């Protein structure tokens, strides 16, 4: 994610199936659910520029 920050990105998003074990991993890395759909979550992480 450092490359994203270095290139001026302020946030990154992803979509993940609700049953995917990676959901908890994404949350540990700071992703937040911004939209809960029937089968998946739309998640975003705000990036801090150094």
pTM of the model as a whole: 0.85
* CB contact set of 47 (below 8 Å; sequence gap of 6+): 1, 4, 5, 9, 10, 11, 12
CA distance 24 to 7: 27
Residue 50: is its pLDDT beyond 50?
Answer: no
Local confidence band at 43 (pLDDT 50, 70, 90 cut-offs): very high
In terms of pLDDT, which residue wins out, 11 or 48?
11
């Amino acid at each position: 994610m450092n490359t994203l920050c270095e290139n001026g990105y302020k946030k990154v998003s992803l979509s993940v199936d609700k049953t995917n074990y990676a959901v908890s991993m994404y949350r540990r890395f700071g992703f937040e659910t911004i939209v809960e759909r029937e089968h998946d979550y739309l998640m975003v992480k705000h990036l801090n520029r150094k």
